[in-house]
Amino acid sequence: MRCRALLIFTLALILILPSTSSFAKTKKCQHTKKKVCYTTQKKAKQTASVKKYRKKAKKYNKKRLRKASRKYRRQYYSAFTARSAIVLDADTNDIYFAKDPYLPLQPASTIKIVTGLLALKNLDENDPVRVSHYAQTAPPQKAYLRCGEVYPAIDLIYATLLHSANDASRALAEKIAGSEEEFAQIMTQTVHALGAKNTVCRTSSGLTAPGQCTTAYDLAVIFKKAMQDEKFSNILKTRKFEIHGGKFVVNHNKALWQVEGAEGGKTGFTRAAQRTYVGMFKRNNRTIVIAFLGSENLWSDVRYLVRKAFTDVRPTIQAAKTKRDVSSI
């Protein structure tokens, strides 16, 4: 009996133990699974909160950056950067602003107003102008004229005054005077006759040359006289013009569509001259001419001088010693 009981007991243990062990395993497995699920959920929540925090921090930093950049822009744009400048009333010759207006500096492409004016006076619109190798190789701003090709004079005048093309200005100079050196002498005599006594021209394009110089006052005087020529003023008001060969030349004077009352103007840039500008603006039956040389921020300085002229009640001569000395308007 005892042996039978022991046998039954052992058989029962054999049958029961595997099931209990498997139950334990499944329980353990379920437990571990639950644990894994809990930790992954916790980690997911943590990562979501971290992402949310980072997103908020990014937005906050962007706002701070925007505010800082606005503050910097306000400070920078309110500062006047040109080395020499003048604002002249075109009707009364009153000076609304002046900063070293008689300081001789390189004019850059603003001197092309003289080239364009002489071309309009000495050439008919359809006069053929042949492009030489010297004209074609003019650096760096070009209308990409081809050596040996013939262009109507009016196309080259538009390319010179709107697109500031150095190759076009050289071609015009050679057509009128035979060489750029001879033409530069005619330019100097012309500007002296107009009243710009401190201007000396050495090139038709305004590219840096030893001995070449002008002043802000001289530029304003030349431009004021040039704008009395109807053809000249109409060209400077043009935004875009198609020249021979299907090429388009675009006006570099952005003030035409960015600044109220812009009548026309000419920009310039070389490393030696920095940014230069001369232009005419009309508001409320008042016409002003602004000119400046040696600028670091061209369009900011244009806007500053225009605001200065049209907000001042009385004409005043004001000199700015440094960039930060000029208060914003």
The answer as to whether 3 is a domain residue is no
Residue 317 banded pLDDT, cuts 50, 70, 90: low
Hey, is 266 helix, strand or coil? Answer: strand
The answer as to whether 284 is a domain residue is yes
Residue 74 banded pLDDT, cuts 50, 70, 90: low
pLDDT at residue 319 is higher than 50: no
pLDDT at residue 199 is higher than 60: yes
The answer as to whether 209 is a domain residue is yes
pLDDT at residue 135 is higher than 90: yes
The answer as to whether 242 is a domain residue is yes
- Domains identified in the chain, total number: 1
Contacts for 176 with CB less than 8 Å, ≥ 6 apart: 118, 119, 122, 123, 183, 186
Burial of 295 (0-12, 13-18, 19+ CB in 10 A): buried
Instruction: Quote the CA–CA distance of 113 and 225 in Å, as a whole number.
Output: 11
Q: What is the mean pLDDT of residues 147-156?
A: 95
Residue 224: domain span: 82-325
Could you give the angle at which helices 230-237 and 112-122 cross, rounded to 10 degrees? 130
The dihedrals phi and psi of 234, each to the nearest 5 degrees, come to: -65, -35
Q: What is the mean pLDDT of residues 276-291?
A: 95
- Please report the DSSP string for 267-320 in residue order: EEEETTTEEEEEEEEEETTEEEEEEEEEESSHHHHHHHHHHHHHH-SS------
**Planar angle of CA 159, 279, 235, nearest 5 degrees:** 35
Lowest mean pLDDT among 52-56, 89-93, 116-120, 153-157: 52-56
pLDDT at residue 267 is higher than 90: yes
Could you report the per-residue pLDDT of 211-256, keeping only the tens digit for each?
Answer: 999 999 999 999 999 999 999 999 999 999 998 888 899 999 999 9
The answer as to whether 72 is a domain residue is no
Number of Cα atoms under 13 Å in the Cβ half of residue 266: 34
The residue assigned the tokens 């595997």 is: 18
Hey, is 122 helix, strand or coil? Answer: helix
pTM above 0.75, yes or no: no
Residue 311 banded pLDDT, cuts 50, 70, 90: confident
pLDDT at residue 194 is higher than 70: yes
pLDDT at residue 272 is higher than 50: yes
The answer as to whether 305 is a domain residue is yes
Helix intervals (H) in 100-253: 112-122, 133-136, 153-161, 166-177, 180-194, 216-226, 230-237
The dihedrals phi and psi of 205, each to the nearest 5 degrees, come to: -100, -20
Give whole-number Cα distances, 176 to 8, 202, 272, 288, in Å.
130, 16, 28, 32
- Cα 317 to chain centroid, rounded: 29
Averaged confidence pLDDT in the chain: 83
Residue 183 banded pLDDT, cuts 50, 70, 90: very high
Instruction: Quote the CA–CA distance of 220 and 95 in Å, as a whole number.
Output: 11
Could you report the per-residue pLDDT of 9-54, keeping only the tens digit for each?
Answer: 676 666 665 544 444 444 444 444 444 455 566 566 667 777 777 7
* Per-residue pLDDT at 50: 72
* Enzyme catalytic residues: 109, 112, 164
* Per-residue pLDDT at 140: 85
Q: What is the mean pLDDT of residues 89-97?
A: 91
The answer as to whether 277 is a domain residue is yes
- CATH number of residue 106's parent domain: 3.40.710.10
Instruction: Quote the CA–CA distance of 41 and 243 in Å, as a whole number.
Output: 70
Q: Say which residue, 94 or 48, is predicted with more confidence.
A: 94
The answer as to whether 46 is a domain residue is no
* Per-residue pLDDT at 64: 72
